[in-house]
């Protein structure tokens, strides 16, 4: 039986205390490895290697990545970072107007258009507005000007998207972002033509 989710208290290097919830792992992913030791035989090492391979397979499945995807390990790494690394998590909302639920999608669509395909922020906002995929709190598609403002605000609050194309390379990130956007559109029943 898996461990229950419990609050984690992490003291960061800057002295701040951060609280979060651990992701719940079950089965083999919840069982610690037995450390290898000097008396390990060849069969012990084979068994140890098989256990590692099984755990990696289960971790990929738990992260929801397609095992046939050549970028499966990169996608799993990103999912694990979102679960466990504070810099990859969306900050909790503070006082004031609540944060839009689809800011990550908004950032992904804008960065795909801007950094992936070379559009300006203004051009990207017109394209995203025409797609009518980002809705306001009233449930209506938002206008290009509103989307530009939201993009600028969200990119300051969630800075990971700002330089991801420069750091990882357009040829690696653009297909991942495009696939994610296509999957979002498919789940919504929209015909998603690649941007």
Find the mean pLDDT for residues 28-43: 86
Residue 86 maps to a domain:
no
Helix 144-157 vs helix 103-111: crossing angle, to nearest 10: 100
Given pLDDT bands bounded at 50, 70 and 90, which one contains residue 166?
A: confident
pLDDT of residue 125: 93
Residue 193 maps to a domain:
no
Same domain, 110 and 182: yes
Find the mean pLDDT for residues 136-161: 86
pLDDT tens digits, residue range 123-132? 999 999 998 8
134/106 Cα distance (integer angstroms): 7
Range(s) of the domain holding residue 48: 7-79
Residue 136 maps to a domain:
yes
Q: Judge whether 153 and 142 are in contact, CB under 8 Å.
A: no
Same domain, 60 and 110: no
Find the mean pLDDT for residues 104-131: 90
pLDDT of 107 > 60? The answer is yes
Residues in the chain: 195
pLDDT of 17 > 70? The answer is no
């Amino acid at each position: 039986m898996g461990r229950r989710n419990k609050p984690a208290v992490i003291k960061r290097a800057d002295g701040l205390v951060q609280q979060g919830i651990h992701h719940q792992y079950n089965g083999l992913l919840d069982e610690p490895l037995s450390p290898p030791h000097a008396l390990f035989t060849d069969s012990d090492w084979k068994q140890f290697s098989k256990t590692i391979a099984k755990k990696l397979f289960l971790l990929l499945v738990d992260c929801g990545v397609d095992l046939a995807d050549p970028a499966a390990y990169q996608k799993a790494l990103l999912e694990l970072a979102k679960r466990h690394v504070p810099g990859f998590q969306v900050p909790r909302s503070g006082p004031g107007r609540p944060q839009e639920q689809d800011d990550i999608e908004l950032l992904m669509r804008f960065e795909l258009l801007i950094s992936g395909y070379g559009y300006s922020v203004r051009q990207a906002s017109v394209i995203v507005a025409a797609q009518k995929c980002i809705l306001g709190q009233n449930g209506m598609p938002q206008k290009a000007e509103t989307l530009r403002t939201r993009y600028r605000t969200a990119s300051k609050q969630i800075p990971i998207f700002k330089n991801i194309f420069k750091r990882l390379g357009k040829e690696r990130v653009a297909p991942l972002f495009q696939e994610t956007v296509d999957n979002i559109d498919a789940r919504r029943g929209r015909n998603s033509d690649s941007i």
